A and B are shown apart, each in its own frame.
Chain A
Amino acid sequence: MKWTRRHVLDTDDWSRDEIETVLDQTRAMIEILQRPIRRAPPLRGRTVILFFAEASTRTRVSFELAAKALSADVTNITASGSSVEKGESLYDTVRTLQALGGDIVVMRHASSGAPYFVAERTDAAVINAGDGWHAHPTQGILDAYTLRDALGDLDGKRIVIVGDVLHSRVARSDINTLVPLGVRITLSGPPTLMPMAWRCGQPPREVTYEPDLDRAVDGADGVIALRLQRERQESGLLPSLREYSRVWGLTAERVARMRPGAPVMHPGPMNEGIEIDSAVAHGAHSLIETQVTNGVAVRMALLYLLAGSGPAIPVEERA
C-alpha cells in the first residue's frame, strides 16, 4: 500500500494495512542493522529534531540511532538546560523548531496531546515519542513487531498486559496496535489502576479484565508487564509495593502457566523484584532486550516512511 500519513501521533485510527506496512518495512531495516556498515543513505540532507521535554534516555537514543542509520542530521533539544526550563511556552518552542528547519520532529512531552498541538503548527512531520498518559505509538508498534516475530501470525493470539494500565501510555498504544492485528488482550492488575470505563462499563470486545493474574496468564500466548511508578503508592492507589509484587508480580511460576515458550516483555526501565522477578526478566523467554533492538528498526521504518510522504518536487524543477 502507498503510505500517506504525515505524522505518527497515535495508532488508534490506523488500519491493519498501515500497521502491517510498518512491520514489513521494519524487517528490511533490521537487515541494515546487521550489515558491517550499519548505515543507508535515504535521509541524507534531512534534519531530525529530537525534542524531549520529559526525561528519557532509551527512547531518545533509539530514535537517534535510527535517524543516524538512515544518514539524517540529528539535533537534540532537551527540557533541562533549555529555554523550556526558563518558562518558554510550547507555542514559542514550536516557532523555534519551525525556524530551525527540521524535516521531522520527534517529541516527548508530559502533557497528553502536546504532539497534536505541535503537528498543527509546523510544516515538519511529527512523531509522538510519548505524551502524558495518552500514547506511545512507536512502543506499541515495536511490541507488535516483537510479538509477530516470536509468534508468527497474531490473529487469535491472547496477550496479557499486567500492571498500571490506567496511567500507561504504553498499554494504550499496545492495545491500539495489537487489536487491529487480531490479538485478544487480557488486562490484569489492581482495580484502582484500571481505566474507569473498563472497571465499571463495557470494555472493547477484544479487551477483557481479569484481576487474578494466575487466571489471566493461564494458557496465554505472551505477557507484557508494565512499569509500576513508585509514586502510585504515595497517592493511595496501592497498599504496599510488597503486596503488589506478591499479587501482580511476574514470577517464574506464573510464566510457566502460559503456553510453552510464550514470550515475556517489558517496555523498560524495569523495577526488578516488583512488577517482574529478575529470573524472569533475564530468563529464556524474555524478549526485553530484543524489544530494544527492534525499537531502532521500527523507528527507522517510520522515519523512512514519513520522509517519503512529504511533497514531491514538481517535474519541471527537476535537474
Chain B
Amino acid sequence: MERDRDLSALAIVGIRARGDALAARIQAAIRTNEGVDVPLGAIDITLYRDDLTRIGYAPVVRESEIPFSVDGRVVVLVDDVLFTGRTIRAAMDALVDYGRPRAIRLAVLVDRGHRELPIRADFVGKNVPTAPGDDVRVHLAEVDGRDEVEIVTRVPA
C-alpha cells in the first residue's frame, strides 16, 4: 500500500472501531517488509460528528490515543468503509486538534461510493459498487472473530 516514501515521517492513525484494527495490521506489514516501526494511533470521531444535535441521543465516546506528535508528519488515516465522507471530515478535524501534519492521506478497505463531501481515498483495498440503501459490514478477526466483508441489500418492503 505504502511505497517510495520517507518512512521516518510516516504515522498511521485508525478510526475507531474497525479502522484502528486495520491500522495495526498495516503497521505490522510495514514492520515485516521494511523493519521499521511506524507510530500508530487511534482516533474517535464521535465528538466531531455533524449530526450530534440531530440524532437525539449521545453516542458513546471512546478514548483517542495519539501517543506521538503529528506536527510535520505524513499521517495516513485508516478506516474500513468510505461512504459519504462525513466520518473522514470529522477525523480530519479531530486530527488537526493534535497539531499540524505535513499531509493527511486516506486508506480504506472498501470504497462503496455515494460521497456527500469532496473527499477521496489515496489507497483503496477494493471498490465495491452499492446502492445508497445497502449496508456494507466489515468484520475483522480482532473485533468480530472473523475476516469478512458483507453487503446487505435492502429488499423493498
Residues of chain B contacted by A304 (CB below 8 angstroms):
47, 58, 61
Bound Cα distance A318, B63 (Å): 29
Chain A CB within 8 A of B146 CB:
no
Chain B CB within 8 A of A261 CB:
no
Chain A CB within 8 A of B48 CB:
yes
Contact, CB under 8 Å: A42 / B57:
no
Contact, CB under 8 Å: B97 / A36:
yes
Given contacts A40-B47, A42-B47, contact A309 B57 (CB under 8 A): yes
- Interface size bucket, A side? 20 to 34
Residues 1-49 of A contacting B (Cβ, < 8 Å): 2-4, 21, 24-25, 27-29, 31-32, 35-37, 39-42, 45-46
Residues of chain A contacted by B53 (CB below 8 angstroms):
45-46, 307, 310, 313
- Chain A residues close to B by CB (< 8 Å): 2-4, 21, 24-25, 27-29, 31-32, 35-37, 39-42, 45-46, 70, 304-305, 307-313, 318
- B114 shortest CB reach to chain A, Å: 17
In chain B, what residue has the closest Cβ to A301?
B61
Contact, CB under 8 Å: A40 / B48:
yes
Contact, CB under 8 Å: B57 / A2:
yes
Contact, CB under 8 Å: B59 / A308:
yes
Contact, CB under 8 Å: A39 / B97:
yes
Would you list the 9 A-B pairs with minimal beta carbon distance, nearest first?
A312-B56, A308-B58, A40-B47, A28-B61, A37-B97, A42-B47, A28-B63, A305-B58, A313-B54
Residues of chain A contacted by B99 (CB below 8 angstroms):
36
Contact, CB under 8 Å: B58 / A312:
no
Contact, CB under 8 Å: A40 / B97:
yes
Residues of chain B contacted by A41 (CB below 8 angstroms):
47-48, 93
Residues of chain B contacted by A27 (CB below 8 angstroms):
63
Residues of chain B contacted by A312 (CB below 8 angstroms):
54-57
Residues 35-82 of B contacting A (Cβ, < 8 Å): 44, 46-49, 52-65
Contact, CB under 8 Å: B56 / A311:
yes
- B58 shortest CB reach to chain A, Å: 3
Bound Cα distance A21, B58 (Å): 11
Contact, CB under 8 Å: A25 / B61:
yes
Name B64's contact: one of A3, A4, A31, A42 (CB within 8 Å). A31
Contact, CB under 8 Å: B48 / A307:
no
In chain B, what residue has the closest Cβ to A311?
B56
Residues of chain A contacted by B44 (CB below 8 angstroms):
28
Question: 17 A-B Cβ contacts within 8 A?
Answer: A2-B57, A3-B58, A21-B60, A25-B61, A28-B61, A29-B61, A40-B47, A40-B97, A304-B61, A308-B52, A308-B55, A308-B56, A308-B58, A308-B59, A312-B56, A313-B54, A318-B54
Name A310's contact: one of B46, B49, B56, B62 (CB within 8 Å). B56
Residues of chain A contacted by B58 (CB below 8 angstroms):
3, 304-305, 307-309
Contact, CB under 8 Å: B98 / A37:
yes
Bound Cα distance A36, B64 (Å): 13
Bound Cα distance A3, B57 (Å): 7
Bound Cα distance A2, B59 (Å): 8
